């Protein structure tokens, strides 16, 4: 991760200088100093490029003099129209242009500590790269940026604003690493091992294997896993940031993730084209794990439990068949019409266990659950399903604030009817129409009336193109959304104790 530092405004003597400039802003302060030191090179370049500071526009000036390797001017748009993410996105845009530099300095007129920390977060998130398996890349082709300094009037406040964000970036990176790993490396046991590392942050981690789950009666989860030689795991991660500090013991908040480390579809096998994408069918679990790392890393004053169901869905002589009936941990029986609708089977047992064991305040599950949600919402929003308007509204609000957007979808009795079975309590698919909704109805049958939200993130966990703060590949969608949900609504306000 790029090393982040804060310093008082001063022209750097070397490296790259990034100036964040709003539309219509007159050169002053650092901008003016840089322009003077380079004999007017910046003003000339901006005039030639007709750069006016519009949001998202950038202008790069190479070797302008004064020892600087490059000056990058990033437009913020008009201050009156600044959106919550403007500084993060500007930091991300700058990072994308800084790969060839080793050290860079970012400044803006009247940069507040918080804005500087936002820019640092954007730059950090954009500079993520998964290069574990590149053995032949020449050193000069690797991104070099190792130190980023943000210029603010009060560096100590900048650093204080950065610290919790550094923990969130760390969680995002953990999720992206997990989601990027190929399935021959990241099987359920390996994924559980990576969860264990969270104990270094003070998270209590407990791992259940197939025999323990069989004893409990996890027939739905184990049915999915039975075709694979890779054993399943369920991991329970607890962060006690409230009760652990001697506070009144509230019920914990629970996050549950689908962790199918590879989804072939099972006997209802998927077509070959694009099947490699199913290595990221553990994206929901990946997000829950990164979220736990973020919350523990910034010592969130809240009790949270994260549960992930980890299985591999394979076809084999021992695989479950279409038409099989399994008995879930809840006691409800399920006719498995399609072995490719496996995520809901995994979640069914983990959600029930979560309620039995923790009686949480509310539960939020995340899953790359249906291709149908991509048909409905594309890659712009996760599908949000909830039995609780207040929780849904909070999620919508933090979605806007973090840019990790959600769109609420309906649930009702008429959709629930579509998963009735002739032989068991329910079947695991409801047909093509409303495929994401019937999947959510299925999950709701394992929720009782506990406040709950389900995020179908099939369209959001992976991206095929670069965005401001998210390079293409694993996005870690949901880590920032849910970290913000916890911070904004479920932790004592800053200062209060
Ligand atoms: N993991 C898939 C859903 C998915 C599809 C995630 C594309 C990411 C990208 C899920 O297990 C699945 O196979 N769902 C089926 C359900 C169907 C059999 C009812 C689907 O969406 O086709
Ligand atoms: Mn599937
Ligand atoms: Zn799946």
Three-state SS sequence of 66-85? CCEEEEEEEECCCHHHCCCC
Q: Please state, for a pLDDT cut of 70, what percent of the chain lies above it.
A: 98
d(CA 392, CA 384): 7
Distance 337 CA to ligand 1 centre (A): 14
Q: What is the per-residue burial (b if ≥16 Cβ within 10 Å, else e) of 202-224?
A: ebebebbebeebeebbbbbbbbb
Say yes or no to pLDDT of 399 above 80.
Answer: yes
Active-site residue among 78, 194, 270, 361? 270
Please answer whether residues 172 and 290 qualify as being in contact, where contact means their C-beta atoms are separated by less than 8 angstroms.
Answer: yes
Please answer whether residues 221 and 143 qualify as being in contact, where contact means their C-beta atoms are separated by less than 8 angstroms.
Answer: no
d(CA 58, CA 75): 6
Joined tokens for residue 338: 């399609």
Distance 67 CA to ligand 2 centre (A): 56
Question: Which residues make beta-bridge pairs with 305?
Answer: 238, 254
Non-local (6+) Cβ contacts of 89 within 8 A are 56, 122, 468, 469
pLDDT, residue 246, reads 61
Which of ligand 1's atoms lies nearest the C-alpha of 429? 19
**Ligand whose nearest atom lies closest to the CA of 427:** 1
What would the mean pLDDT of 79-108 be, rounded to a whole number?
Answer: 95
Residues of the chain with CATH 3.40.220.10: 3-153
Residue whose CB lies within 8 A of the most ligand 1 atoms, among 279, 341, 433, for a mutation test: 341
Confidence of residue 154 (pLDDT cuts 50, 70, 90): very high
Active site residue 480: no
Residue 477 backbone class (left: φ over 0; alpha: ψ -120 to 50; beta: rest)? beta
Instruction: State pLDDT tens for residues 356-395.
Output: 999 999 999 999 999 999 999 999 999 999 999 999 999 9
pLDDT, residue 248, reads 62
Residues flanking ligand 1, CB < 6 Å = 263, 277, 281, 338, 340-343, 368-372, 429, 435, 458
Question: Which residues make beta-bridge pairs with 18?
Answer: 72, 106
What would the mean pLDDT of 457-478 be, rounded to a whole number?
Answer: 98
Non-local (6+) Cβ contacts of 165 within 8 A are 117, 118, 120, 121
Distance 413 CA to ligand 3 centre (A): 25
| SS3 assignment for 110-135 | CCCHHHHHHHHHHHHHHCCCCCCCCC
Distance 443 CA to ligand 2 centre (A): 15
pLDDT, residue 338, reads 98
Instruction: State pLDDT tens for residues 8-39.
Output: 999 999 999 999 999 999 888 999 999 999 99
Question: Which residues make beta-bridge pairs with 68?
Answer: 15, 65
What is the CB-side half-sphere exposure of residue 257 using CA atoms within 13 A? 39
Range 43-49, long-range pairs (CB < 8 A, 24+ positions): 45/71, 46/73
Say yes or no to pLDDT of 262 above 70.
Answer: yes
d(CA 87, CA 167): 18
Residues of the chain with CATH 3.40.630.10: 168-489
Joined tokens for residue 382: 């996760």
Say yes or no to pLDDT of 82 above 60.
Answer: yes
Please answer whether residues 296 and 378 qualify as being in contact, where contact means their C-beta atoms are separated by less than 8 angstroms.
Answer: no
Distance 369 CA to ligand 1 centre (A): 6
Residue whose CB lies within 8 A of the most ligand 1 atoms, among 309, 312, 340, 455, for a mutation test: 340
> What values do phi and psi take at 420, rounded to 5?
-70, 145
Terminal Cα-to-Cα distance of the chain (whole angstroms):
32
Give the CATH architecture of domain 3-153: 3-Layer(aba) Sandwich (3.40)
The top-level CATH class assigned to 168-489 is: alpha beta
Which residue's CA lies nearest to atom 3 of ligand 1? Answer: 370
For residue 216, the surrounding DSSP H or E stretch is helix 210-216
Joined tokens for residue 415: 């959709």
Say yes or no to pLDDT of 496 above 60.
Answer: no
The per-residue DSSP string of 452-494 comes to: EEEEE-TTTSEESS-BTTB-SEE--TTHHHHHHHHHHHSSPPT
Active site residue 344: yes
Please answer whether residues 428 and 440 qualify as being in contact, where contact means their C-beta atoms are separated by less than 8 angstroms.
Answer: no
Instruction: State pLDDT tens for residues 330-356.
Output: 999 999 999 999 999 999 999 999 999
d(CA 168, CA 148): 18
What would the mean pLDDT of 122-133 be, rounded to a whole number?
Answer: 97
Joined tokens for residue 209: 């294997």
What would the mean pLDDT of 139-162 be, rounded to a whole number?
Answer: 96
d(CA 478, CA 460): 9
Instruction: State pLDDT tens for residues 296-336.
Output: 999 999 999 999 999 999 999 999 999 999 999 999 999 99
Joined tokens for residue 155: 């560096």
d(CA 305, CA 203): 9
Active-site residue among 279, 344, 405, 427? 344
Confidence of residue 250 (pLDDT cuts 50, 70, 90): confident
């Amino acid at each position: 991760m790029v090393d982040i530092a804060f310093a008082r405004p001063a022209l750097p003597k070397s490296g790259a200088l990034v100036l964040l400039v709003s539309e219509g802003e007159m050169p002053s302060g650092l901008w003016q100093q840089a322009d003077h030191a380079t004999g007017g090179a910046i003003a000339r370049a901006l005039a030639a490029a007709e750069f006016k500071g519009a949001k998202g526009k950038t202008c790069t000036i190479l070797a302008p003099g004064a020892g600087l390797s490059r000056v990058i001017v990033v437009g913020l748009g008009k201050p009156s129209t600044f959106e919550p993410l403007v500084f993060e996105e500007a930091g991300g845009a700058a990072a994308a242009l800084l790969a060839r530099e080793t050290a860079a300095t970012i400044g803006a007129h009247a940069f507040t500590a918080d804005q500087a920390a936002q820019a640092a977060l954007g730059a950090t998130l954009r500079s993520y790269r998964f290069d574990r398996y590149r053995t032949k890349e020449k050193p000069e082709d690797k991104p070099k940026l190792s130190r980023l300094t943000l210029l603010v009037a009060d560096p100590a406040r900048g650093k204080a604003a950065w610290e919790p964000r550094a923990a969130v970036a760390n969680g995002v990176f953990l999720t992206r690493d997990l989601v990027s790993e190929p399935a021959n490396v990241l099987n359920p046991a390996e994924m559980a091992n990576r969860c264990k590392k969270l104990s270094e942050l003070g998270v209590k981690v407990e791992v259940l294997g197939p025999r323990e789950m069989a004893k409990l009666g996890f027939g739905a989860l184990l049915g999915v896993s039975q075709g694979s030689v890779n054993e399943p795991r369920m991991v329970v991660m607890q962060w006690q940031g409230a009760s652990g500090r001697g506070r009144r013991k509230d019920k914990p908040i629970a996050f549950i993730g689908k962790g199918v480390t590879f989804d072939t579809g099972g006997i209802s096998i998927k077509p070959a084209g694009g099947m490699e994408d199913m290595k990221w069918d553990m994206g929901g679990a990946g997000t829950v794990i990164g979220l736990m790392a973020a919350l523990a890393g910034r010592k969130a004053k809240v009790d949270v439990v994260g549960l992930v169901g980890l299985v591999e869905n394979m076809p084999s002589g021992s695989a479950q068949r279409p038409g099989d009936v399994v008995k879930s941990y809840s006691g409800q029986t399920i006719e498995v019409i399609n072995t490719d609708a496996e995520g809901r089977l995994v979640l069914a047992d983990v959600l029930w266990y979560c309620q039995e064991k923790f009686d949480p305040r509310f539960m939020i599950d995340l899953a790359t659950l249906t291709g149908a949600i991509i048909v409905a919402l594309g890659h712009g929003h996760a599908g949000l399903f909830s039995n609780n308007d207040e929780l849904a509204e909070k999620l919508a609000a933090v979605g806007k604030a973090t840019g990790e957007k959600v769109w609420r979808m309906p649930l009702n009795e008429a959709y629930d009817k579509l998963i009735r079975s002739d032989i068991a309590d329910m079947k695991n698919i409801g047909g093509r129409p409303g495929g994401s909704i019937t999947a959510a109805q299925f999950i709701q049958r394992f929720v009782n009336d506990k406040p709950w939200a389900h995020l179908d993130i099939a369209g959001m966990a992976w991206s095929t193109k670069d965005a401001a703060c998210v390079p293409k590949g694993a996005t870690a969608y949901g880590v920032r959304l849910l970290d913000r949900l916890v911070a904004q609504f479920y932790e004592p306000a800053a200062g209060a104790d």
